Amino acid sequence: MFESTGPHFCPECDPIFNKRGDQVGQHLSCTTHNYSGTGTDIAVCQNCHKSFIIAYKVESIQRIKDELTTQGPQS
């Protein structure tokens, strides 16, 4: 997904624009595609060397029941 949704720019570095006003740098480089099957990529900035998680899709957000967090997984 990284290549088809980019270019991705570093949110920490100052943006660089060309004469037309398009952002052209600092690009992130993908280091891990689809991290653990979670639909996220991990990318690093070549300028500041900070790492970022890029999430592509969230279908739903559900609360974890208190019983599961205090008792652990049920078999």
Look at the chain and report how many structural domains it folds into. 1
Largest Cα–Cα distance of the chain, in whole Å? 61
State the burial class of residue 68 (Cβ atoms within 10 Å of its Cβ: 0-12, 13-18, 19+): exposed
> What predicted TM-score, i.e. pTM, was given to this entire model?
0.65
Tell me, what's the pLDDT at 6? 77
- Structural domain span for residue 19: 2-71
Structure tokens at 66: 């208190």
Mean pLDDT of residues grouped by 10 in the chain (75 residues)?
Answer: 82 91 89 80 90 75 59 51
Distance CA 53, CA 56 (A): 10
